[in-house]
Structure 1
Amino acid sequence: MDSSVPSTPTLTFNVLTYNCWGLKYLATHRIPRLLQIGTEISTLNPPPAIVALQECWTQQDYNAIREQTKHILPYGKFYWSGIFGGGLAILSRWPIVESRMHRYTLNGRPTAFFRGDWYVGKGVACAKIRLPGTEGAGEGKGRGRVVEVFCTHLHAPYEREPNDSYICHRTAQAWEISNLMRSSYSAGHIVLAMGDFNMIPLSLAHQIVERHGRASDVWRIKHPDSSIGAAVDDIERTRGRLIPSVGFNLTENGATCDSRLNTWRWTEEERKRLGKGEKIMVDDREEDPRAKRLDYIFLGDALGGSAVRDVEVGMTMRHPTLKCSLSDHFSVEATLEVNTDGPSGDETSNFYSTFLSGSLDTPLYLPTTTYTTILTMIEKYTLRERRQRRLRLSHFGGWVVTAIGCFVTIWWSPKNYVSFLLMLLSTLGLSAGVIDGLIGGLFMSGEIRALKEFEWEVRNARDAAIEVGGGGGQVGEGVMSGGRDEAVELYK
């Protein structure tokens, strides 16, 4: 080995993503649970360097966690979005040099107020964090690389795929965050996407994030044969596997949701017994048929040098006094090793030349059949929304005519109580019609235009995939090693 060749500087650090279940007024024991979440994060060994939180809805809860963790994570950002907030936050050991909130274009419907996805303004919390580089080593050369963090919470699946009426929204959201990841990848940044993606492994949204977003699911890097759904799901049953145990789901399948170990998934009777102080333990060997993986860490690095050393499910402990799980999800925690140095000084031009002209692979694409599936989904959903728009606008127009008729009838009405009933009918009916008119004329028109943009982007990507031969290749190839995407602008 030539000792004159300097070794590449690397940095090893831990990252964590966690859905806190901090719904204001709705989540049980919210304040003490989130306070304990901060305590548990602050005592992790080794401590995390970057933490992505979802469903941390109030700044009060965010501040409580920040107060507990500021000695290890002195930098943080609470992201504002929508009417009630996006529930996203990022904590960091290193300074956040740039941040923004990207709100999803397709994000549920205002009519589904009981679900709230549209009102909270779900999106992507973006943060650029510059890692320490050789400038801190005393030589005054180089700049630490940028890791770009994307924290998100995709639209919840309220029905089973493919009958989920929101699957088009979630697919569009996966596409949007993938566009952000892809741009960061092209800039030579380390891509770190974390959050509750509300999808199962190898699903359509998962394929989009991995291939179009140019990043690898770190759990599947370490556990490539892990489950792709809950044991009770048809997609998992076709694999012919035995029902996994609680312990196997945690250590091998990476199950973060609906685990038998999570007290919020217990029966009402079991929770009552727990609330009365009864000690209820779950055996790791117990069957766990409903547990699945919805929380992810994706890692991408166009320049190479990044690796996953370890990944595990965490935050499985219970609250010390309440005896309940800290959230209805578990966390995902990973140990990463990255190349910290970028180009510097006279090396910059050589680095650009090498990066742009050398052995860089063709961009990864989805199979063309997958693009066709997405386009068919968009077309089907667009037809549904156009029909809904026509019905809502017709409802508005019908009530305008009816209200005018009621006003005319009142003029000739011989009885006061008849006039009162007609006024009440016209007022209530016209109010409902106006709401439908606003939804159909404003919201749905905007949604249909967003679907047109989404359709164009997918068609454009499909055409590009066809040009390079159908978008073949394995998901993992080129994601965390060298690869040229669009024009590259390094180290923004």
Structure 2
Amino acid sequence: MDNHTSASPLSLRVLSLNCWGLKYISKLRNERLTEIGNQIAAAEPPPEIVGLQECWTKQDYDAIRDKTKHLLPYGKFYYSGIFGGGLVILSKWPIEESNMTQYPLNGRPAAFYRGDWFVGKGVAHAKIRMGPKKSDIAEVFCTHLHAPYEAEPFDSYLCHRTAQAWEITKLMRGAAERGHLVIGLGDFNMIPLSLAHRIIETHSPVRDVWRILYPDSSVGAARDKVEQLRGVPMPNAQFNLTQNGATCDSALNTWRWNKAHSQRLAKGENVQIEPTVDDPNAKRLDYIFFSGGPQYDVTNGEQTTEWTLKDATVGMTMRHPTLYCSLSDHFSVEATLVRDIGVTPSNVQSSSTDPSERYLPIETYDEILATIKKYDLRERTQRRLRLGHFGFQLLFTIGCLIGVWWSPENYVSFILMLLSSLSLSVGVIDGLMGGLFVGSELRALKEFQWEVENTRTRALANNSAKQS
């Protein structure tokens, strides 16, 4: 038997980090990601399962693997979309099975400057064998949900992110129903208690590790209205790290500094920011969810165990040793899970919970359906406009070709031919987007709508049963 699976582990250290490794765009990418590998290898306690996001290139993956292979000998770089999904899972134990599931709703090709559609965002899934027993299986789900480009509820991609949360929730629920330890991690691009967050914690048995330990932690940046309504005082940077779990837009992250500080840093000055500075922009976008409820295998009488949370921290806050910049524009979120080996069949029945019996309030499903309807109308309008634009450009092209016949000069003919070629090219691209892409997205919306309506119906029936 493999020496990594010879004994069942009693604890498990998990780490998730958005590496900010955009090729040609992210500054000092090679140096930073190499140092990320160094810091993962030097972490104490050492991580045993690591999920990375925005590790876009195989070169950067190999650099991190080279630094961590003695600690995390098993790893998978996930291929997706046109440019890759940027997802990586590293493990101390063997990865028995793996797959990449792309989200049905995943951005728009017209927004090429944002890139979400082109990278094929989805869920990287690894089934990890941690020991010899049937209960020693962890199913790890690493993801990076669609980025918000406006504040909710005005974000035009809110429907996408909601649908993506719904999809990963189904995958994690299925893993829990198989009796495995479930770990969901990544950059979810959502704030705590947002719609996507509530979907994940309601429709699957997983829980947000940070809110288990810090239930009163922030639900957004201090400058956000949702946080101001809570009436809490302005947090400093240290409080945001240790109590609010803020992983993004921290005042301590050099990639969020003002121009003056950034210029000093670029000149090689090791600029220091006091941890007591006010931190109005920091928020939590990176998460670790887990579910490790007790199980009992009646087939062979094997008693299994329950995983519980020991601690959760924000990590990878150190800076590059020579460049003095933060290692990423995000900090990591880390957690330690421990095993309770005292589980018995009697307390299994009392503590187990069927996630299919938990529902959101009916008005929340109505909110999701309203979001779907709003986005559906938008896309139908977009399809009409794009197909209309294709028709216009086609007529314009024909007009230019006809105009060549009466062209008085050769240079005029050249201009008309050039215009006709460009016009037809633009029209065809818009026609393909309207006819093919939007049609595909509308069908994915219908599937999502049916699932929400079906769940809403079950929630109504459940409410009626409780009242009767």
Normalising by the residue count of structure 2, what TM-score does the alignment of the two structures yield? Answer: 0.91
Look up the equivalent residue of 2:461 and give its one-letter code.
Answer: E
**1:319 aligned onto 2:313:** no
Task: Kindly provide the amino acid, as one letter, of the partner of residue 289 in structure 1.
Answer: P
**Using the alignment, how far apart are the partners of 2:465 and 2:241 within structure 1?**
34
Task: From 469, 476, 482, give the equivalent of 2:463.
Answer: 469
Give the deviation of 1:105 after TM superposition. Answer: 1.0
Query: In structure 2, what is the equivalent of residue 6 of structure 1?
Result: none
Amino acid at match of 1:217: D
Task: Tell me the amino acid that sits aligned with residue 93 of structure 1.
Answer: K
Judged with a 3 Å threshold, the aligned counterparts in structure 2 of structure 1 residues 411 and 276 are, in CA distance, closer, same or farther, namely closer
Q: What CA distance in whole angstroms lies between the structure 2 residues aligned with 1:364 and 1:26?
A: 43
CA shift, 1:283, in A, is: 1.5
Taking only aligned residues, the RMSD between alpha carbons, in angstroms, comes to 2.2
- Report the counterpart of residue 49 of structure 2 in structure 1: 50
Residue type of the alignment partner of 1:298: F
Name the structure 2 match of 1:156.
147
Q: CA deviation at 1:409?
A: 3.2
CA shift digits 1:130-164 (9 cap, x unpaired): 222xx4xxxxxx43431100000011111111111
Change (3 A) 1:26 1:470: farther
| Offset from partner CA, 1:24-61 (integer Å, 9 cap, x none) | 11111111111110011101111111000001111111
Which segment is superposed worse, 237-246 or 266-275? 266-275
The code of the aligned residue for 2:42 comes to T
Matched, 1:69 2:79: no
Give secondary structure in 2 for the equivalent of 1:469.
helix
Cα deviations by residue, 1:302-343 (Å, 9 ceiling, x for unpaired)? 436221000000000000000010000000010101358999
Kept after mapping to 2: 8 A contact 1:144/1:341:
no
Post-superposition offset of 1:277: 2.9
Partner of 2:436: 442
How far off its partner does 1:412 sit?
3.9
Q: Please tell me whether the aligned partners of residues 52 and 91 of structure 1 are also in contact (alpha carbons under 8 angstroms).
A: yes
Amino acid at match of 2:363: T
Match of 1:195, SS? strand
**Aligned partners of 1:360 and 1:180: how far apart in 2?**
17
Q: 1:354 to 1:119 in 2, by over 3 A?
A: same
Q: Distance in 2 between matches of 1:469 and 1:357?
A: 22
Among 227, 230, 233, which residue is 1:239 paired with?
A: 230
Where 2:117 maps in the other structure, the secondary structure is helix
Match of 1:489 in 2: none
* Cα deviations by residue, 1:100-137 (Å, 9 ceiling, x for unpaired): 001111111111111111111111100011222xx4xx
For 1:106-185, what aligned pairs fall within 5 Å after superposition? 106-132=105-131, 135=132, 142-185=133-176
Q: 1:368, 1:471 within 8 Å by CA — same for their partners in 2?
A: no
What pairs up with 1:451-466 in 2 under 5 angstroms? Answer: 451-466=445-460
Residue equivalent to 1:260: 251
Matches for 1:76-87 after TM superposition, within 5 Å: 76-87=75-86
1:411 aligns with 2:408: no
Tell me which of 354, 361, 364 is aligned to 2:358.
364
Partners of 2:33 and 2:63 within 8 A in 1: yes
Counterparts of 1:359 and 1:452, CA distance in 2: 33
Distance in 2 between the 1:438 and 1:75 partners? 41
Shift of 1:428: 1.4
Q: Which amino acid aligns with 1:52?
A: G
The reply to whether residue 333 of structure 1 matches residue 324 of structure 2 is: no
TM-score, length-scaled by structure 1: 0.87
Paired letter, 2:143: T
Cα deviation, residue 23, structure 1: 0.7
Distance 1:338 1:470 in 2: 38
What is the CA distance between 1:359 and its match in structure 2?
6.7
Cα contact 1:157–1:198 (8 A) shared by 2: yes
Are positions 1:203 and 2:194 aligned together? yes
Q: Aligned letter for 1:428?
A: L
| 2:324 aligned partner, one-letter code | K
Matched-pair contact (CA < 8 Å) for 1:78–1:89 = yes
Counterpart of 1:251 (choices 239, 242, 252) is 242
Q: Which sections of structure 2, spanning at least 5 residues, go unmatched?
A: 1-7, 296-305
Counterpart in 2 of 1:97?
A: 96
**Structure 1: which 5+ residue stretches go unaligned?**
1-8, 136-141, 344-350, 473-492
Aligned 8 A contact 1:145 1:341 in 2 = no
* Deviation of 1:388 (Å): 0.4
TM-aligned CA deviation for residue 213 of structure 1: 2.7
**One-letter amino acid matched to 1:71:** H
- CA 1:195–1:418: 2 relative to 1, 3 Å: same
3-state secondary structure, aligned to 1:60: helix
Structure 1 residues 414-423 or 327-336, which shifts more?
A: 414-423
Identity percentage of aligned residues? 61
Alignment coverage as a number of residue pairs: 448
Partner of 2:184: 193
Distance 1:471 1:224, change over 3 A: farther
CA separation of 1:359/1:219 partners in 2, compared to 1, >3 Å: closer, same or farther? closer
Asked whether the equivalents of residues 140 and 184 of structure 2 are also in contact (C-alpha less than 8 Å), the reply is yes
1: CA distance, partners of 2:386 / 2:181? 46
Residue 55 of structure 1 aligns to a residue in which SS?
strand
Alpha-carbon displacement from aligned partner over 1:375-410 (angstroms, at most 9, x marks no partner): 000000000000000010011112222222332332
Amino acid of the residue matched to residue 384 of structure 1? R
The residue type paired with residue 433 of structure 2 is: I
State which drifts further: 119-128 or 301-310.
301-310
Tell me, in whole angstroms, the C-alpha distance in 2 between the residues paired with 1:338 and 1:90.
Answer: 22
Instruction: Report deviation, 1:369.
Output: 1.0
Shift of 1:184: 0.9
Give the structure 2 partner of residue 348 of structure 1.
none
**Counterparts of 1:231 and 1:470 in 2: how far apart (Å)?**
40
The AA in structure 2 aligned to 1:61 is D
User: Does 2:383 align with 1:383?
Assistant: no
- The answer to whether the Cα contact below 8 Å between 1:145 and 1:340 also exists between their aligned partners in 2 is no
Query: 2:211 is matched by which residue type in structure 1?
Result: R
For the Cα contact (< 8 Å) 2:135–2:179, is it kept in 1? no
Q: Which residue of 1 aligns with 2:421?
A: 427
| Structure 1 pair 470–453 and aligned structure 2 pair: CA distance change class (3 A) | farther
Distance (whole Å) between structure 2 residues aligned to residue 444 and residue 277 of structure 1? 49
